[in-house]
Structure 1
Amino acid sequence: MKDILTHLFEYKHLTREEARQVLIGIARGTYNQVQMAAFMTAFVMRNITVEELEGFRDALLELRVPIDLSEFDPMDVCGTGGDGKDTFNISTLSCFVVAAAGQNVAKHGNHGVSSLCGSSTVLEYFGAPFTNDPEVLKRTISRSGVCFLHAPMFHPALKNVGPVRGQLGIKTFFNILGPMVNPTMPSKQLIGVFNLEIMRLYAYLYQQTDKNFLIVHGLDGYDEVSLTGPFKISTALKDEVIHPQDLGFPVLAPELLSGGTTVAESAGIFEAVLRNTATEAQKEVVIANAGLALYAANPSSTLDTEMLRAREALESGKALQHFKSFLEAS
């Protein structure tokens, strides 16, 4: 690791294979926590390259605990995290709206690093146990349309660096990797990213696949559709900047999206949205993200059509029922 760190501190880059080998070493416990922290910090100081990102991705996919859910044709709905905005659990809520609209979801997630309450945190609060048992996950997705894949249970490397990431408390390249290494390898995906450089890298790599994908970035720094201003989307067919008003949504003030100061408060917002008793801002932003996810899964449709499907799925109470079924089946 000393040679690798010296190489990085001289502003040099890793090859794809070098990046793969380092991640494999991290997964096997070859390096201590100080070395891992220094390695992650090096990539905070400069942008990651395509080759490095590919190598890290290759290592995690090679070492993952695989699971085949292809019979359910699921999609993933997730963001990189690390935007520092402390919003409530918008993408996790969107999963249940998407499922209620008829599209199964295999959600890949973790506890928050730069935010109080990640997807794992809020679902754990409601009593959902984490598992990598295929039979349990298949039962859950078949009954509720959603299953949850707690990242450390599927990625040994993520489990090993968890304490270091938590102590650093900042976004690292592991935030960037998360959406790329869903162990089910879904063919449909909505990915939120926290800056335009990462969006460019993701678009390049996803263009090399046959996935139905949509990458989104809020131009004021969000890794999701915040409705606080315009957002950019990138698909296999187009790049486009969209304003909330273009889709009939209001422009929201950032403070209206706060996730609260405790996990219990975040969970309260989560449940209120599903019960259709949340604020209009909270409901609208979930509908916007769920609609975008449905459009990612159905690119031959239109954004307006998918936004209407998302709204009906939430306001009818179907999303709440899917969430209840998820907890029961889990």
Structure 2
Amino acid sequence: MKQILYRLFEHQYLGREEARRILQNIASGQYNESQIASLITVFLMRSISVEELAGFRDALLEMRIPVDLSGYHPIDIVGTGGDGKNTFNISTAACFTVAGAGYNVVKHGNYGATSVSGASNVMEQHGVKFTDNIGQLQQSMDECHIAYLHAPLFNPALKAVASVRKNLGVRSFFNMLGPLVNPVIPAYQLLGVYNLPLLRLYNYTYQESGTRFAVVHSLDGFDEISLTADFKVAMPEKEKLYTPEMLGFDRCTEADLDGGSTPKKAAQIFDKVLHNTATKAQKDCVIVNAAFAIQVICPDKQIDECIDEARISLESGRTLTIFNRFLALNA
């Protein structure tokens, strides 16, 4: 690792196979925490390359505990995290909204590393017991249209670096990898990223995969469609810049989307969204992310139609019904 770090400090890049091998070594405990922290720091100081990202992803997918839910043709909605915005659990709420609209979802999540509440935090606040039991995951899909996969159960390498990431408290290339290594390898993904270079990186990475995808980025730095600014959406066939007003939404502020100072507070906001008692800004943000996820699944649908589906799911109570059913099975 010392030689690798010297090379990286001299602005050299890793090849795909070399990156794969390094991550395998991390997972097997061959490097100490200081070395891992130094490696993470390198990729904060310069952009990760397509080859490096692909190599790291290869390693994690090879080491994953695979889960075959391919028959459900599910979608995952996930942000990289690391945007420093500390929003409430928008992607997770959007997942249940999409499930409430009748589409299959496999949510891959973890504890927050750079924010107060990650998806696993909000699930845990509701008493959800994480599982890798395929029968239970299939039952959750059958009865709720959604299953939750807690990343460390399926990706041992992520577990190996959890304490380093938490202690550093800054975004890392593991934030970038999280959305890419859902062990199900879902048919569809809506990915949120915190800057435009990463949007392009994901776009290149996914072009050669069989996954139908959209990568989204709000131009003021959110790793989701925040409605606080104009936002870009990259799909296989197009890249388009939207304003909130184009889609009939009001702009909101960063403070409108704050997730609070504790996981409990973030869970309370999440509950208000699902109970349709949240603020307009909070609900709109969930609806627009759910809508673009629906359009990934159904590219022939106009975005206005997808927004209507998401809104009906949330405001009719279908989202809450699905969530309560999910809790009855998984908590």
Q: TM-score, normalised by structure 1?
A: 0.99
> Which consecutive aligned stretches of 4+ in structure 1 deviate over 2 angstroms post-superposition?
none
Q: What one-letter code is carried by the residue in structure 2 that aligns with 1:280?
A: K
Give the distance between the partners of 2:133 and 2:30, measured in 1 at CA.
Answer: 28
Q: Identity of counterpart residues, as a percentage?
A: 51
| TM superposition shift of 1:262 | 1.4
SS of alignment partner, residue 241 of structure 1:
strand
The equivalences for 1:187-226 within 5 A come to 187-226=187-226
Aligned twin of 2:102? 102
Letter in 1 for 2:289: N
Matches within 5 A, 1:75-154: 75-154=75-154
Match of 1:4 in 2: 4
Give the distance between the partners of 1:135 and 1:15, measured in 2 at CA.
39
1:133 CA displacement: 1.1
User: Are 2:260 and 1:260 equivalent residues in the alignment?
Assistant: yes
Q: Given that residues 212 and 299 in structure 1 are in contact (C-alpha distance below 8 angstroms), is that contact kept between their aligned partners in structure 2?
A: no
Answering whether residue 52 of structure 2 is matched by residue 52 of structure 1, we say yes
Number of equivalent positions: 330
CA distance in 1, matches of 2:181, 2:60: 7
Q: Report if aligned partners of 1:213, 1:296 keep a CA contact under 8 Å in 2.
A: yes
Partner of 1:273: 273
Long gaps (5+) in structure 1 = none
Report the equivalent of 1:15.
Answer: 15
| CA displacement 1:165-219 (0-9 Å, x = unmatched) | 0000000000000111100011111000111111111101111122210000000
Q: Please state how far the C-alpha of 1:135 moved relative to its aligned partner.
A: 0.9
For 1:190, what is the secondary structure of its paired residue? strand
Give the Å deviation of 1:297: 1.2
* C-alpha RMSD over aligned residues: 0.7
In the TM superposition, residue 142 of structure 1 has moved relative to its aligned partner by: 1.2
The residue number in structure 1 matching 2:246 is 246
2:328 aligned partner: 328
Greater Cα shift, 15-24 or 142-151: 142-151
Gaps of 5+ in 2: none
Q: Give the structure 1 partner of residue 161 of structure 2.
A: 161
Measure, in 1, the Cα distance between the counterparts of 2:58 and 2:263: 34
> C-alpha distance in 1, partners of 2:154/2:115?
22
Shift, 1:136, TM fit:
1.2
Q: Structure 2 length normalisation: TM-score?
A: 0.99
What letter corresponds to residue 3 of structure 1 in structure 2? Q
Task: Report the secondary structure of 1:6's partner residue.
Answer: helix
> What does residue 228 of structure 1 align with?
228
Letter in 1 for 2:33: Q
Separation (CA, whole Å) in 2 of partners of 1:220 and 1:182: 27
Whether contact under 8 Å (1:141, 1:326) holds in the other structure is no
CA distance in 2, matches of 1:56, 1:17: 9
| Distance (whole Å) between structure 1 residues aligned to residue 308 and residue 176 of structure 2 | 31
Displacement of 1:302? 1.0
Cα distance in 1, alignment partners of residues 65 and 305 from structure 2: 37
